[in-house]
Amino acid sequence: MAIKEVNAITAADDLVEFLENHPGYLARVHSVFPHAVNLLIGEDALVTLTNQDDITPMGLRVDGSGNFAEILKVGDKVVLDLDLFTSINGVFAVNLRDAEIWESRSMMSLDACPGEEVAQIRLNLIKWLGKQSALGLLPLLPRLTRQSMNGKPMVENLYSRHIAEDLEAFTKAINTSDWQRALNLADRLVGFGMGSTPACDDFLAAYLVIFTVVDTLNPDRYPWVREFNQTITSKAKKRTTLISANMLRHAADGKLSRSHQRLIQTCLYNIQGELEYSARQVLRHGATSGGDFLLGLVCAMQWFQYNMTDVSKEGEQAWVELKQPQPVPGI
């Protein structure tokens, strides 16, 4: 069989740093999909190669439109060097020499919009989400955001109906600063759902990255953030898939795929393009993963807008006011 060689287009900066520090590292194929392959390094870290128009932390985007599943299989070994990946069996190679470096935490150095602006962006995003197919956790959009929908009601599915009370209790615990209750409720959320990244993990990833953004913008004001995020990632090691545990670990460090980061930048920094376009790019992820993340994002943005707005009220009183239903025109 002739060797299949592709060229790397974009490499994540954290992957480049790993390669610089671990020349000739022997990884093995953890999982293979038509347009992506995950390589296991160490016991629980993954490098993700994809030939689609996106890139993840510790990821590599390559050219071509081939099917990875026709070239590699689980257990295959791949040697990782800074300029070349080569499978031991000689059927696959990736040339990294001309790859562009993507900064996976670049948004952390930006200045966020005031809470009032974020509030309006959030309402616009809820309005758009209300028009999308109610898959995964999205049927819970009206319930979790306390927004009345003027269109047809969203029909809950088995999964959203089962987890609805726990998700609602989690969002309330976050908004009332009851971090311990939120962590206790996370025991029921982490790993809940189907697929390589279960629905509630995608929902939680949005919260973790928003917490990290706020912690970066306001050092030492939220001392609980790092412990909270670390506790969630520790729970994920035992309760969910390896792919999802890696996603949550990256989110806790402020890292998401490039399309997700562009959406965060649009929502919190009002840059990087048009809101609906960015949201649509994220919605395309997986069967329901994109929608589940978007639901988590609009919920986390409520916490963000309150904490980034100068208000005199705190705690339960503020939550009571924030939770009042508000119509979103046009849904």
CB 136 within 8 Å of CB 197: no
pLDDT of residue 249: 98
Nearest-5° Cα angle at 119, 116 to 123: 145
Two tokens at 101? Answer: 């470096």
Two tokens at 110? Answer: 């930006």
Two tokens at 150? Answer: 């003027």
Verdict on whether the full-model pTM lies above 0.75: yes
CA-closest candidate to residue 84, choices 10, 13, 30, 5: 5
Contacts of 113 (CB under 8 A, 6+ apart): 121, 268, 269, 270
Mean pLDDT by 10 residues, the chain (331 residues): 87 98 98 96 97 96 92 97 96 96 86 87 95 94 86 76 96 95 97 94 98 91 94 97 98 96 90 85 94 98 84 40 41 33
Helices of type H across 61-178: 115-129, 141-145, 158-175
pLDDT of residue 320: 43
How many angstroms separate the CA atoms of 267 and 297, rounded?
9
CB 22 within 8 Å of CB 80: yes
**What residues does 207 pair with on adjacent strands?**
none
**For the chain, which residues make up each domain, given as ranges?**
4-102, 106-327
Distances (CA, A) of 200 to 172, 298, 315, 317, 318: 16, 14, 25, 28, 26
pLDDT of residue 2: 66
CA-closest candidate to residue 264, choices 227, 307, 232, 296: 296
pLDDT of residue 1: 56
Q: Which CATH number fits domain 4-102: 3.40.50, 3.30.70, 2.40.50, 2.30.110?
A: 2.40.50
How many angstroms separate the CA atoms of 107 and 141, rounded?
27
